[in-house]
A and B are shown apart, each in its own frame.
Chain A
Amino acid sequence: MHHPDDTTSSSTLDNGRRRAVSAFAQADAAFLREAWAKLGGSREILPLRGPENGLVMVRGRAGGGGAPFNLGEASVTRASVRLDGAMVGHAMVLGRDGDRATFAAAFDALWQVEAEREGVESRVVAVIETALAEVDRERRSETEATRVDFFTMMRGED
């Protein structure tokens, strides 16, 4: 949704964080753990909440664009952490992997540390986005090969 004040730096910041958090949520735990070993340094991850398993009710819309209805639930894990008594980070991810949620929350916190943002963006967010785009591109290409190319056959005279 576009608001007139979307250009303020706080909403730019929100958009950046939103993109980053969405990327963390779609990375696997092994990648996040490895990246944390490189970027988190000696920072300790202090759990504030969770990781805990729960549900999100996934909604659809009647007809695709009409009134919302409850399609069914999905299992999720959420976590909130604090880094060395400083930044607080949050995460909610699909599935039941507590590590994934914890590291995603830790990276959300690290992203908020201004001095670290650049590194997290280039070495984590961008890497995840590139990997997702690559998987999507491959799937699109495989689907594309099943495209129906219709041609018309003339029957009879003119």
Chain B
Amino acid sequence: MYVAVKGGEAAIANAHRLLADRRRGDRAVPALTLVQIAGQLALAVDRVMAEGSLYDPELAAMAVRQSRGDLIEAIFLIRAYRTTLPRFAASRPIDTGAMLIERRISATYKDLPGGLLLGPTFDYTHRLIEPEMAEDGAVPAPASRQPADDGPAPRVTDILGDEALIEGDGADDGGEPADLTRSPLAFPASRDLRLQALARGDEGFLLGLGYSTQRGYGRTHPFVGEIRIGEVEVEVDLPEFGFAVTIGRVRVTECQMVSQFTGSKDVPPKFTRGYGLVFGQLERKAMAMSLVDRALRADEFDEERRAPAQDEEFVLAHSDNVQATGFVEHLKLPHYVDFQAELGLLRTMRGDANEDRNQASKIGESEPSALDRGDGSVGE
């Protein structure tokens, strides 16, 4: 028998009204504007765009505001929003080699053509809370310097690749890339599908997995070949024009992780690579993604798959924080009927056990313990 229980409408309505009140907080304090959130909490907005898998800073700022800063909740809102819209087209693959670079570093080459540009980084800060953050003091304008030259800044892997010391990018077979928003994950997964899943995967989960590969759970001995952050143009082939047009620019972070050699009797040893690419300025996420991408390529290099980060089913099935939060958080919703069934089962089991013991105690003439007398009357 299934008994539907109704009720709680007034409680829910008032709870949402209370949520709106708490979200707004003290009315004497000015409300946050979207421009403030997108401008001053830019990296939170970037994370919502990357894991929400939708590039739209203003919309992500709205989601951050609506979710009171709960970023997974904000990501959920973005994912829900995107399901309401038609997809007009797919872009041409973005060209990160033509990026307007805002940061570019390499841990492997200090004399990289195009040079190393630190950009707006937390690196080398002391990680001490600055008293100025309690105030709204004047901030000096950034230093400025005439760019050395407008020469290209090739991707580091293109430089190393010329010497054939590092594996190439692989061929483009011209096929349509897999799309997990259109068809469910299937295993074994192709690398394009894995990269899509990782690009929208939870930063914390991927960070933990990437860290695990460094600690020995998986075979990587990585170096950051290059990290670059900046804007790239998005080009779309539109039939109404008959050619590709630029529809705007997006900021992305790319990480080329160079990993240890592979080779065979026929092929001399080469560095291998993991790749990270995410929307926004999200260096940690791009690095973690590149570590996990490399770990998941174990089969390509005849590496034994023993660690969690090498197990694509484990990684891809658990990297999506909207799926994860949906399943974990659903546990707090009413399970009264399920639980009644479990209670019933438990009582039956204990009843059977009691009966057995009563039989035994009749033989031994001993009293049943207080616990055994429990008749499950609680909650009836």
Contacts and interface: CB of A to CB of B under 8 A. Distances in A.
Interface of A: 14, 17-18, 21-22, 25-26, 53-76, 78, 80, 90, 92-96, 136, 138-148, 150
Given A58-B94, A58-B250, A95-B248, A144 B169 contact: no
B243 interface: yes
A72 B101 CA distance: 21
Interface stretch (B22-30, B138-146, B203-211, B329-337): B138-146
Contacts of A95: 56, 58, 248
Which of A55, A94, A96, A144 has the most CB atoms of chain B within a 10 A radius of its CB? A55
Interface string B141-164: 011111110000001011000000
Given A56-B88, A61-B93, A142-B142, A75 B56 contact: yes
Contact of A61 (B90, B111, B172): B172
B117 A147 contact: yes
Given A92-B238, A94-B247, A148-B115, A139 B100 contact: yes
Contact of B50 (A72, A139, A146): A72
B171 A66 contact: yes
B345 interface: no
B6 interface: no
B354 interface: no
Contacts, number: 237
A73 B55 contact: yes
Contacts of B233: 22
A13 B144 CA distance: 39
B71 interface: no
Interface in B214-262: 233-234, 236, 238, 240-250, 252, 254, 256
Nearest to A18: B243
Interface in B79-111: 82, 85-94, 96-97, 100-103, 110-111
B269 interface: no
A68 B55 contact: no
B275 interface: yes
Contacts of A71: 94, 195-196, 199, 252, 277-279
A67 B192 contact: yes
A97 to B, nearest CB: 9
Contact of A145 (B145, B155, B238, B254): B145
Given A70-B196, A146-B117, A59 B92 contact: yes
A25 B199 contact: no
Contacts of A58: 55, 90-91, 94, 234, 250, 279
B54 interface: yes
5 contacts: A69-B192, A75-B54, A96-B59, A145-B145, A146-B118
Contacts of A145: 142-145
Contacts of A61: 93-94, 169, 172
B168 A63 contact: yes
Interface string B300-311: 000000000000
Contacts of A63: 157, 168-170, 256, 273, 275
Contacts of B157: 63-64
